[in-house]
Chains A and B, each alone.
Chain A
Amino acid sequence: AQSVAQPEDQVNVAEGNPLTVKCTYSVSGNPYLFWYVQYPNRGLQFLLKYITGDNLVKGSYGFEAEFNKSQTSFHLKKPSALVSDSALYFCAVREGSNSGYALNFGKGTSLLVTP
């Protein structure tokens, strides 16, 4: 079975400070990992993905994530947070290229960036 865990329900950070939103995963094969952001009453927006290659993935709006196989983690990071980054962030995983195509989402982490 494949799953992701987002250990923090909420992350608070001051504007201009670096931010990290944590995600760990569990799959039996090679993981495909994704980060999505959801603003209130809106659908999810794709930020970035890791399938293979460079462990550091750069995505939209200045976000990046680092794939760490030994720690089975895929933490989302941004060097300097903006108030407009405040939203709900979902990590998702699917296993490799077969055995189903469902994305398994974490429960989400609410990011609050204060001025």
Chain B
Amino acid sequence: DAMVIQNPRYQVTQFGKPVTLSCSQTLNHNVMYWYQQKSSQAPKLLFHYYDKDFNNEADTPDNFQSRRPNTSFCFLDIRSPGLGDAAMYLCATSRDLIRYNEQFFGPGTRLTVL
């Protein structure tokens, strides 16, 4: 089945220690998104890639970076995690941004910062 895969499902890191979360897709979608979802809150978009074009949301902290080396993979790098960055991180894809814009989500990576 075509799907969005996130690894690891659970990640524990120390305060200030860089961490990378991984997302891959077999849908061959053009767009990949990263969301942050804190406990009992709605998901919040951090950034997205349309193909190789990176689009950062205006209020995404500089501490969060992303890489998309090819169509299938997208990474979320947190350079210096703080306690406030503990959250579920959701990766999503869509075929495009307009007509076929429904987003398909991975299972998420739950990040704990000690």
Binding site for B on A (CB under 8 A): 32, 34, 36, 41-46, 49, 51, 90, 94, 97, 101-103, 105-108
Contacts and interface: CB of A to CB of B under 8 A. Distances in A.
Interface of B: 4, 6, 31, 40-45, 48, 55, 57, 90, 92, 97-99, 101-108, 110
Contacts of A51: 99
B106 A43 contact: yes
B45 A44 contact: no
Nearest to A47: B102
17 contacts: A34-B102, A36-B105, A41-B108, A41-B110, A43-B6, A43-B90, A43-B108, A46-B103, A46-B105, A49-B101, A101-B55, A101-B101, A102-B45, A103-B45, A103-B103, A105-B44, A106-B42
Nearest to B98: A97
A94 B105 CA distance: 17
Contacts of B4: 43
Contacts of A45: 105
B24 to A, nearest CB: 14
Nearest to B108: A43
Given A101-B48, A101-B55, A102-B57, A44 B41 contact: no
A42 B40 CA distance: 14
Nearest to A48: B102
